[in-house]
Every structure is written in C-alpha cells, then in structure tokens.
Structure 1
Amino acid sequence: MAKYKLEYVWLDGYQPMANLRSKTQIKEFASFPKLEELPNWGFDGSSTRQAEGKSSDCVLKPVAVFPDSTKRNGVLVMCEVYMPDGKTPHPSNTRATIPDDPDTWFGFEQEYFFFKDGAPLGFPKNGYPYPQGEYYTGVGYKAVGSLARQIVDEHIDLCLDAHINIEGINAEVAKGQWEFQIFGKGSKSAADQMWMARYVLLRLCEKHEIDIEWRCKPIRGAFDAPLDWNGSGMHSNFSTKFMREVGGKTYFDRLMAAFNKLMDEHIAVYGPENHLRLTGLHETQSIDKFTYGLADRGASIRVPHSFINNGYKGYLEDRRPNSAADPYLVAGRILKTVQSVPTN
C-alpha cells in the first residue's frame, strides 16, 4: 500500500465567473487509484459562496482523475459539488445539468493573458508596447519575452503527464496573450480536461508570481488603452458522428438555422462581458447577430474549407464563446442545439 496525495479540484459559487478551488487529502491505495475508489469529501461551502454559515456543508463527488507529476504519488481529482445529502447537485454544479454524448467531439481553443502587477506580461510600466501584428506566433524576446514560453512549455508537459489531451499552444495576437488547445470526446470529458488544464496552468504560475487573466477583454477593462487590443476567446470546434460520417448541405442548412434561432441561449452561456469582445469589428461577429462563413474569422461560426470540400462533413467552429466561459455550459449548449436538428 502507498499513500497518495489526492488533490480535489472544484468550481466555487462566484458569479459571473466561477473560480477553481482545491484541497488535498492523503489516502492509501495498492496502486494508482481508480475513479470508483475515490471517496466523496466535504468542504465549507460558506467560504466559497456555495452555502450559508448556519448550514455550511457541501460535498465533493469525484468525476475524473488525472496523474499529477509535480508530486510523488500525486493525483488530481476533478469534482462536482453536491448538497449535504450527497445526491442533489448543488446549484453551482453546471456539469450535472448538461447533455452528454461520447460521439460528440469538442476542440477548445483557450486564449488568456499572463498578467504581472496588474498589466499584461511584457507591458512597460508606463505606456504600452508596440501595436499588435508581430506577437501572434511570435519568436524572440521582443515578441514574447523570456518567461512566457518557459511557462507554456512546462504547461504542455504537465498536461501530457496528467493524460490531458492538449493538442498545441501558440502566442496570440496581443502582447502577453497565449492560447492552448484541448480535444475531448463528450461534453463532460472535454470540459473536465479543459478545467483541469486551466487549473494546472494557474498552479504552475504560482511559483513564477504570474497571474492568469481569463476575462475576455482585460486590457480595456483594466485601464484606458489607446488601442483596441484583442480580447480572448475560447473558440469551440465541434462535430457529431452524423456530422463526420453523413452531413450534407440540407443538414448543414438546418443546423445553421437552429443556431440562428437559439442565438440568445448560446450568448447567455458564452461568458461574461462578451459584448466587449463581440463588437463586430475585428474579432468576430457582433453579439446581436448570427452569421456563418467559409474560413471567415469574422463570422459567428467559421466553416472550414475541409468541411465544404468533404461534402459538408466534418467539424465547425463556434467563435463566440469567450475565454472566461464555463466549458461545461458551452459544450452542453452546443450539443443541445445540435440534438434539436433532425437528421432525416
């Protein structure tokens, strides 16, 4: 038997954007623990905006488990939050409310800013760096500095060690802005991996005294910027088994009509302050409109050339979800809309 460090991770009750929380317990197992071997665990919900002090008990229910290479016998445990009875999902538990389908695949493109002393990493103390243009996929100290690449490369290794399906990283359009990509099969599995990848990045940055800014328009929101610096998205690529294997122009038209009809329902869960990002200028379509277009980065949904060339089969990219969006709600909303469209 060996003692394992079980780091339970969950989402708190803060609005409009939940924070990640964690705490660790030590348990003995004969080998790396399976999900079904992990016990439920209580916590003080009054300290996380999930309960009142007079009745503060909440319950953590493990739903996914990942190896943690930063510790000897380390285990990362993604959890849902339940009421004290251990059976009723807590109102903040977005994972418990969404539809799921392992044949629906999601690819999340998570953009974010490194922040240091209240400004994006690499911004001068007084003023601003040179305008956007050379930062995207940039190379060299002038474009990306010295610390950011060290962090993102270590983040890749930690995610791979944890069996999180990270598929790539790149420097993004603004100074101090980066992106990583996560692929998963099924709404819950894909979102579990995204939340845990976010957690791993946040924890990694602690030792570098760097913050991660998830807000979708942090420069405009933080101080008076002279330029309309880019915001951050969580572009969400999706495909169902039917989209990959059958598809067709008739089905595609129905699908886009459904996304148009349910536009407000999507925007409602695509992240806070999205009106600051979805301006209709240079980042994507205006928040009050729905459009789709071939390889069109300014559309609500970008249609890849491969999709058209393959007979309207494959994946599509919803560009509206923002960097602070809850992946559970985003994946669930996309799947619910797709499921509403007849395939015959």
Structure 2
Amino acid sequence: MSLLTDLVNQNLSDCTDKIIAEYIWVGGSGIDLRSKARTLSGPVSDPSKLPKWNYDGSSTGQASGEDSEVILYPQAIFKDPFRRGNNILVMCDAYTPAGDPIPTNKRCAAAKIFSHPDVVAEEPWYGIEQEYTLLQKDVKWPIGWPVGGFPGPQGPYYCGVGVDKAFGRDIVDSHYKACLYAGISISGINGEVMPGQWEFQVGPTVGISAGDELWVARYVLERITEIAGVVLSFDPKPIQGDWNGAGAHTNYSISKTGGQLQTWTHTLSLP
C-alpha cells in the first residue's frame, strides 16, 4: 500500500511538463456528477484554451444509443487537490455535436442571463449554504447512528463538539482544505441539526461563478467521501420523521441592496 500511496502522490512536475485535466459535468439526473481525465501538453489557466471533449451520453441518460455523442465545453478551471501540482479540475457543460446545449445543460441559459449588461451592472452576489448528510456505506444510515436504531434527540448536534455529537469531522475538514486549495470561495463549515449532517458555504461570489464553484465543491466532497468509504447524500429528507432535512439556503444580493446578502430560500436544492 505504501507504493500505491507513493504513486498517487507523485509530483509529475519533477519529470514532465504534461498535466492531467479532470473534466467534470452534471449527469442526466441533474444532480449526479460525472468526470473523466485527459493528458494535456502543459499547464493551462484559461478555459478557452482547453480542448473540447466528448462522452457517451447514452451511458449518462443524456442521449439515445443511436446518437450518443455529447460534447464537453470547458467553462472554469480549478486546481486539483487530489493530484496536486499543475493538474486541474475543469467544470464543463454539455452540447450536441451541432453545438446546441443538451436539455440537461442549465448552465448555458444561466450564462446568457448573467452576461446581459443589465445583470452585470447589478453585480449579483450569491452565498450558498449547502447542507448534506454522510451515510454508512452498506446500510445507507447516517454515520454515528446505531445500525437500525436512532441516536439521542436533536439539540446537541448543531455546531456540536465531541465524540458523541460530531460525526465525520475528518471528512468535513478535508473537504474544507481541499476547496481552499482548489480556489473555491468556500467561506465556512458547521455541523447541522441532525447527527451525521453538515453544511458548507460557498461565496460570496458573483454571477455564474457561484454555480461553477458550488458544483466543483460538491465534486470534491464526492471524491473525499469516495476515499473515506462513506456515502454522500444531498437528499432533502434523508431520514423520515422528526429529523432535520437538508437543503441550501441561497443568499442573494445586488447593487440595489447595498451589498447586504438576503436569504432567498431554505429548501432550494440546486441541481
């Protein structure tokens, strides 16, 4: 295992100018994330300089088997906290070979709105509070909960500290630091009301970048929970009954509000 760890952590810049770019996109359900990697000849900092790529949309619920090719357009670049070095994460959206956005590509329409001069002049700020739940892999039950049973009632867990109140902090802190490394505008984290449930905040950030950063923050969290052997859930009601749900407070401000972020909604799930 030590050799495997050494290879995973190897610094490629010691031996080659080539880098690895992980292309990320939203799958057919509107909430699942997909990614694939490719080798580039050297470091890139401008997404417009990256090559477009393709994937099999019939395998992601985004195209038919008879005409399955979907094209990825790079839109935003982040440092890769997993491969490190000059390697990058690339947030993409998806188009047909003819250049039309596929039906699940919501970013294209949003980009048109955010690039409108009237919208740009308002400088729309977003601060998004993403709640999520960490589940035990084999039973899909929150971590820290007895299998098939329930913990003590809610109350001590929100922003709680202690082995009997905070479950999964190593994952949460790893995600926090990985997002900062990637260049994501993550502004904080906290334990939530239900044990095994946490929240991270992205922003304030302006316009379409809020969506790009949130999706990449979600991707990074998916990768970290993959390594930890824990299931990540954005389900708005992961446990039925009198247990806290999970959503995304979305705080919003424009120049007319004087830079004061206003809470838009508590239950918005941003797929």
- Both structures adopt the same fold (TM-score exceeding 0.5): yes
- How many Å separate the matches in 2 of 1:69 and 1:175? 27
Task: Tell me which residue corresponds to 1:277.
Answer: none
After TM superposition, list the pairs within 5 Å mapping 1:197-212 onto structure 2.
Answer: 197-212=217-232
Quote the offset at 1:34 in angstroms: 2.1
SS at structure 2 position matched to 1:218: coil
SS at structure 2 position matched to 1:123: coil
Task: Tell me which residue corresponds to 2:53.
Answer: 41
Opposite residue 3 of structure 1, the aligned amino acid is: K
Opposite residue 149 of structure 2, the aligned amino acid is: G
Aligned residues of 2:185 and 2:205 also touching (Cα < 8 A)? no
Quote the offset at 1:184 in angstroms: 4.2
- How many Å separate the matches in 2 of 1:46 and 1:217? 30
- How many Å separate the matches in 1 of 2:212 and 2:38? 20
Task: Tell me which residue corresponds to 1:304.
Answer: none
Opposite residue 233 of structure 2, the aligned amino acid is: E
Quote the offset at 1:74 in angstroms: 1.8
Task: Tell me which residue corresponds to 1:5.
Answer: 20
The reply to whether residue 69 of structure 1 matches residue 81 of structure 2 is: yes
Opposite residue 162 of structure 2, the aligned amino acid is: G
Task: Tell me which residue corresponds to 2:266.
Answer: 320
- How many Å separate the matches in 2 of 1:97 and 1:228? 38
The reply to whether residue 174 of structure 1 matches residue 194 of structure 2 is: yes
The reply to whether residue 143 of structure 1 matches residue 165 of structure 2 is: yes
The reply to whether residue 229 of structure 1 matches residue 243 of structure 2 is: yes
The reply to whether residue 18 of structure 1 matches residue 31 of structure 2 is: yes
When Rg is computed on C-alpha atoms for both structures, the one with the higher figure is: 1
**TM-score w.r.t. structure 1 length?**
0.69
The reply to whether residue 219 of structure 1 matches residue 202 of structure 2 is: no
- Partner deviation per Cα, 1:291-327 (whole Å, 9 max, x = no partner): xxxxxxxxxxxxxxxxxxxxxxx221023333x432x
SS at structure 2 position matched to 1:142: coil
- Partner deviation per Cα, 1:151-201 (whole Å, 9 max, x = no partner): 111111110110000000000000100000000433310010000000000
SS at structure 1 position matched to 2:245: coil
Give the aligned length.
245
- How many Å separate the matches in 2 of 1:175 and 1:41? 41
Extract structure 1 runs of 4+ deviating beyond 4 A. none
The reply to whether residue 89 of structure 1 matches residue 101 of structure 2 is: yes
SS at structure 1 position matched to 2:36: strand
The reply to whether residue 128 of structure 1 matches residue 150 of structure 2 is: yes
Q: Which consecutive unaligned segments of at least 5 residues does structure 1 have?
A: 221-226, 246-313, 327-344
SS at structure 2 position matched to 1:179: strand
Q: Percent identity?
A: 40
- How many Å separate the matches in 1 of 2:212 and 2:87? 18
Q: Which consecutive unaligned segments of at least 5 residues does structure 2 have?
A: 1-15
Opposite residue 325 of structure 1, the aligned amino acid is: L
- How many Å separate the matches in 2 of 1:52 and 1:32? 33
- How many Å separate the matches in 1 of 2:106 and 2:46? 24
- Partner deviation per Cα, 1:255-280 (whole Å, 9 max, x = no partner): xxxxxxxxxxxxxxxxxxxxxxxxxx
Aligned residues of 1:184 and 1:193 also touching (Cα < 8 A)? no
- How many Å separate the matches in 1 of 2:210 and 2:39? 27
- How many Å separate the matches in 1 of 2:250 and 2:171? 24
- How many Å separate the matches in 1 of 2:263 and 2:71? 36
Opposite residue 181 of structure 1, the aligned amino acid is: Q
Aligned residues of 1:233 and 1:319 also touching (Cα < 8 A)? no
Opposite residue 6 of structure 1, the aligned amino acid is: A
CA RMSD of aligned residues (A): 1.4
- How many Å separate the matches in 2 of 1:188 and 1:106? 9
- How many Å separate the matches in 1 of 2:219 and 2:246? 18
Quote the offset at 1:73 in angstroms: 3.0
SS at structure 1 position matched to 2:18: strand
- How many Å separate the matches in 1 of 2:222 and 2:49? 27
- How many Å separate the matches in 1 of 2:195 and 2:218? 20
